[in-house]
Amino acid sequence: MPQRAVFTVAAGLVLLVGVALWPVQVVNLKLPRENNRWIASIPAAEGDRIVLAYRHSVELTAVEGHFQIGPRSEILALKTRMQSAGTGLPNTAYDRTVIRNGWIEVDEARRPVGTIRFFLVPINQTRLVIAGRDTDLSTIEAGALLEISVENRRLIQRLFDFLHSRRASSGKQNESTS
């Protein structure tokens, strides 16, 4: 094999390994009660916003949790907005609460919250927006517990996550058609 070809192959392998090991920050969506079944891994960057919006099942009013990805791959609570106060709704704090455009808004002071866990129920009409993009939650069964977290992953890990989720979801589809 000519020396130039060996160099080209070696350079290609180094490039491939470099790309495979490249770190990417992602927002992970998993189902912890289903063996941590991976739903999605969405690329995100520090400063990107996450909005979890839903209709409260008792009060039947809108609630929104606004979060931001922090500098250490953490989720920071920015504010909670709700259209009313009542049973089961988020608490308000007098010194951090204002009424703005018909919404009760609580300043959450960029408090780190770790992982967000949320039960998906059809009556809630849950909507999840990550980095300005709506996230499809329609494939998740009613009553499932959704876990939202941020982490640094390697591109190769994202590929394995994707392949594993495809295999798991095709197995689940096969079970439901049997």
Domain that holds residue 126: 26-173
Q: What is the pLDDT of residue 24?
A: 78
Instruction: Give pTM, 2 decimals.
Output: 0.75
Q: Looking at the domain assignment, is residue 133 inside a domain?
A: yes
Query: What was the pLDDT predicted at 57?
Result: 76
- Secondary structure letter of residue 1 according to DSSP: -
Residue 164 lies in a domain: yes
Taking alpha carbons only, the member of 178, 165, 115 closest to residue 139 is 165
- Asked whether residue 110 is domain-assigned, the answer is yes
Q: If you search the block for the tokens 């204002």, which residue do you land on?
A: 98
Q: Which pLDDT does position 46 carry in this prediction?
A: 92
- Specify if 91 maps to a domain: yes
pLDDT at 134: 92
Q: Is residue 66 part of a domain?
A: yes
Q: Would you say residue 6 lies in a domain?
A: no
160 within some domain:
yes
Distance of CA 136 to CAs 27, 29, 98, Å? 14, 11, 31
- Tens place of pLDDT for every residue, the chain, 178 residues? 688 887 787 777 777 766 666 677 889 999 999 998 888 888 899 999 999 999 887 777 899 999 999 988 899 999 999 888 766 667 767 788 888 999 989 999 999 998 999 999 888 899 999 999 999 888 899 999 999 999 887 777 767 766 765 555 555 544 444 4
Domain membership of residue 20 (yes or no) is no
Q: What is the pLDDT of residue 30?
A: 92
Number of domains in the chain: 1
Any bridge partners for residue 24, and if so which? Answer: 153
| The pLDDT value given to residue 4 | 81
